[in-house]
């Protein structure tokens, strides 16, 4: 039985899915697409990128949806930038924004400035009114430098929040037992994380992939956005983001149909409740 399914009181052979929309706050079109997906019960969770330009607008339209914090230390786009919300010189590049790459932040960031920045992002989201349900990290990987992972885990334990982590099979590749460390501290995580788009881009392929998911909790994440000139100017991946609106609709339709092999959908909030019961 996996740690997550055990904590949730689920059948150990059950396949359970969290459908998460990342980067709430990126732009107006991202906000509108993510809230539409949550309110139509296509997605079950989202995460807000607090330093991003449209994060405050996302907070203004929040209605109690299952939202976590997308902890951010990078600003990867050439012409659309954001930076730290704390006074943290080691987190700045030459433009006065976060660095563009993970390698850059790993090489130059001071660990205590990372801690202060991430904590400030969590607390600002709370101040804006979000009932935070989990933590994950922008550009998945920033948190997997051991010093930064310690901060990530400390914050998850402090706020009693589940976190996104790669699956157990990645521990040897990454070089330290991050999942075991999280378990020791009572911090829950999905058993594996998969980008929904890697499972297929049509209904037949997605149907087969979703029916074949392993037992345990699988997080499927997407970056949906409504098309606009703003989005096209901001990111070269605009078309993928627009297509992920449809991809999410298809996945939700398949899961809604149910059937003996269809995974159950949950939000991160269920894992948060389980962690806080164990406290």
Tens-digit pLDDT profile for residues 63-106: 999 999 999 999 999 999 999 999 999 999 999 999 999 999 99
What pLDDT is recorded for position 279? 59
Catalytic residue among 41, 154, 223, 226: 223
Q: Is the pLDDT at 1 greater than 60, yes or no? A: no
52-67 residues labelled b (16+ CB within 10 A) or e (exposed): bebbebbbeebeebbb
What pLDDT is recorded for position 2? 61
223 is catalytic: yes
Pairing of strands 67-71, 216-222: unpaired
| 25 backbone φψ class: left, alpha, beta (φ>0; ψ -120 to 50) | left
What pLDDT is recorded for position 5? 86
Q: Is the pLDDT at 267 greater than 60, yes or no? A: yes
Q: How far apart are CA 23 and CA 50, in angstroms?
A: 9
111-144 per-position pLDDT tens digit:
999 999 999 999 999 999 999 999 999 998 888 8
First and final C-alpha spacing in the chain: 21
| % of the chain beyond a pLDDT of 70 | 98
What pLDDT is recorded for position 33? 98
Specify the residue for token string 């101040």.
127
**Segment 12-37 mean pLDDT:** 96
Q: How far apart are CA 78 and CA 80, in angstroms?
A: 6
CA atoms within 13 A on the CB side of 186: 13
**Segment 169-193 mean pLDDT:** 92
Residues 6+ apart with CB under 8 A from 251: 19, 42, 196, 206, 210, 220
197-243 per-position pLDDT tens digit:
999 989 999 999 999 999 999 999 999 999 999 999 999 999 999 99
Residues 6+ apart with CB under 8 A from 114: 73, 91, 148, 151
Q: How far apart are CA 143 and CA 155, in angstroms?
A: 12
150 is catalytic: no
Q: Where are the alpha helices (DSSP H) in 170-263?
A: 171-174, 178-184, 203-211, 229-234, 238-257
How far from chain centre, in Å, is Cα 278? Answer: 23
Catalytic residue among 11, 22, 41, 227: 22
Neighbours of 206 (CB within 10 A): 20
Q: How far apart are CA 84 and CA 18, in angstroms?
A: 29
Q: Which domains does the chain have, with CATH numbers?
A: 3-69+130-278 (3.20.20.370)
């Amino acid at each position: 039985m996996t740690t997550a399914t055990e904590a949730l009181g689920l059948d150990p052979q059950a396949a359970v899915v969290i459908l998460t929309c990342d980067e709430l706050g990126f732009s107006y079109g991202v906000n509108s697409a993510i809230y539409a997906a949550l309110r139509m019960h296509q997605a079950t969770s989202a995460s807000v990128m607090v330093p991003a330009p449209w994060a405050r607008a996302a907070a203004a339209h929040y209605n109690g949806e299952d939202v976590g914090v997308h902890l951010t230390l990078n600003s990867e786009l050439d012409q659309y930038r954001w930076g730290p919300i704390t006074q943290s010189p080691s987190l700045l590049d030459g433009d006065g924004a976060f660095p563009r790459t993970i390698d850059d932040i790993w090489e130059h960031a001071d660990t205590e400035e990372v801690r202060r920045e991430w904590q400030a992002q969590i607390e600002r989201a709370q101040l804006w009114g979000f009932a935070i349900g989990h933590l994950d990290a922008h550009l998945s990987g920033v948190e997997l430098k051991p010093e930064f992972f310690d901060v990530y885990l400390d914050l998850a334990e402090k706020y009693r929040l589940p976190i996104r982590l790669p699956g157990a099979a990645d521990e040897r590749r990454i070089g330290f037992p991050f999942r075991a460390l999280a378990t020791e501290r009572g911090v829950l995580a999905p058993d594996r994380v998969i980008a929904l788009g890697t499972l297929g881009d049509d209904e037949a392929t997605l149907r087969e992939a979703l029916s074949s998911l392993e037992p345990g909790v699988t997080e499927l994440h997407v970056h949906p956005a409504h098309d606009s000139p703003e989005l096209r100017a901001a990111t070269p991946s605009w078309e993928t983001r627009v297509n992920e609106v449809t991809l999410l609709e298809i996945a939700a339709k398949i899961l809604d149909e149910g059937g003996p092999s269809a995974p159950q959908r949950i939000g991160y909030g269920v894992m948060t409740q389980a962690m806080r019961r164990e406290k």
